[in-house]
Amino acid sequence: MISSAEQQKRIRKRYAAERRFKLYGVGALIAALLCLVVLLTDICSRGATAFFTTKLTVPVSFDTETLSLPESPTLADLENADYYTTLNKAVYSLFPDAVESSDKRAIKTLVSPLASMTLRQHLLENPDDLGKTIQVTVLAHSDVDQLVKGNVDRTLPEARRKLNDKQLGYVDLLQRQGTIFTTFNWRFFTSGDSRMPEMAGIGGAILGSLFTLLVTLLLSFPVAVAAAVYLEQFAPKNKWTALIEVNINNLAAVPSIVFGLLGLGIFLNYFEMPRSTPLVGGVVLGLRALPTIIVSARAALKAVPPSIKEGALAMGASEMQAIFHHVLPLALPGTLTGTIIALAQALGETAPLLMIGMVAFIVDIPTSPLDPSSVLPVQIFLWAESAEPGFVEKTSAAIMT
């Protein structure tokens, strides 16, 4: 016989073990949340400044001599004018005391190398400004942008900074004059990729991702639902259907890069589909998402009570009517949940898209699934490879979006 004291001792030990187990669970949960907070804090702290950009206002003199234009220029003349020299003269005018060649070289690097395109666009939209001096706002260079945002350590030796002491003084002077300022970076959401960090954006990657997901959804959802309905409601239970079920489950575990190899070998090399387009990317990701949607749709169909179908058949409905009018609508929520999960997985895929050429440097914004484009995960991958501080913050900002 076990005494009452021994029983109480064992009960206390069991309760203590239960409390320890609860503490272990709470500790694991807290540790996971802390890791998540640290990760999100690091990404947000790096990427928050990318949603703002630095610009400066310069007095631009659109005189025909500097622009190398004839007396009566045509539209073609305006398109091919010398805006680079015009921009340099406008920036030099901000520092009239700078006359040395070294000073001018330091000054002209304060603005983006592609800022001359802003002057070109302005004059093409406002040809009446020819011969006038107009205040035009242009993008600052990425190094100046990082300095204004406070991402550059001024105490570092000059040899370890991209901006020398003289350029720091020029930027400080512009800030005191109010010529240089920070504004919201709309270009980040509306422009495509660029070699210049201050010009780069995710607009092309977002549209490319939307087109790719659209093709993925249109290809995978109808085929997956039809396959699930057939396997669950119509297919006989034999070894062939069992083999098909096993292969579908195995497809869900295949590494995604294998689907990229399939797209490279079949869709690009054999069918000669256009490379680096959302059409090919959508087809490849559609095959990747197919088994996930089939499995979730079959599980949703199994969860529908058999009495629903039996009641419809008892009322005189055909088997097809009972399935499509009663069973399938009830299974739709579970099917859509699996579809959303499959599309979310497809949106985060990078490896298969690298195999079909969607890693290419694409500047233009796509307008259809047949236009070459990038996608958001690949864009993040490309920017993450760059050591430019401007691309570092844009990488984190793209992850945040």
Tens of pLDDT, residues 156-192: 888 888 888 888 888 888 888 888 889 998 999 988 8
Question: Can you give the length of the chain in residues?
Answer: 401
Q: Quickly state the pLDDT bin for 228 (edges 50, 70, 90).
A: very high
Q: Are residues 224 and 148 in the same domain?
A: no
218 located within any domain: yes
Give the pTM. Answer: 0.84
Q: Are residues 253 and 379 in the same domain?
A: yes
What three-state secondary structure class fits 134?
Answer: strand
Domain count, the chain: 2
Q: Are residues 316 and 349 in the same domain?
A: yes
Q: Which residue's structure tokens are 């093709």? A: 215
Q: Are residues 180 and 220 in the same domain?
A: no
What are the Cα distances from residue 152, in Å, to 1, 43, 148?
78, 18, 8
- Quick: pLDDT tens for 246-259: 888 888 888 888 88
394 located within any domain: yes
Q: What are phi and psi of 61, to 5 degrees?
A: -100, 110
Q: Are residues 172 and 116 in the same domain?
A: yes
Domain of 387 in residue numbering reads as 203-400
What three-state secondary structure class fits 61?
Answer: strand
What are the Cα distances from residue 287, in Å, to 216, 221, 222, 232, 270?
8, 10, 12, 20, 17
10 located within any domain: no
Q: Are residues 280 and 333 in the same domain?
A: yes
Q: Are residues 89 and 167 in the same domain?
A: yes
Q: Quickly state the pLDDT bin for 37 (edges 50, 70, 90).
A: very high
Residue 157, by phi and psi: left (phi above 0), alpha (psi -120 to 50) or beta?
Answer: beta
Q: Are residues 272 and 355 in the same domain?
A: yes
User: How many whole angstroms separate alpha carbon 301 and alpha carbon 338?
Assistant: 12
Q: Are residues 243 and 387 in the same domain?
A: yes
Q: Are residues 179 and 212 in the same domain?
A: no
User: How many whole angstroms separate alpha carbon 26 and alpha carbon 35?
Assistant: 14
Q: Are residues 113 and 217 in the same domain?
A: no
Whether 53 contacts 187, CB under 8 Å? yes
Q: What is the domain-level CATH number for residue 274?
A: 1.10.3720.10
pLDDT score, position 12:
86
Q: Are residues 234 and 171 in the same domain?
A: no
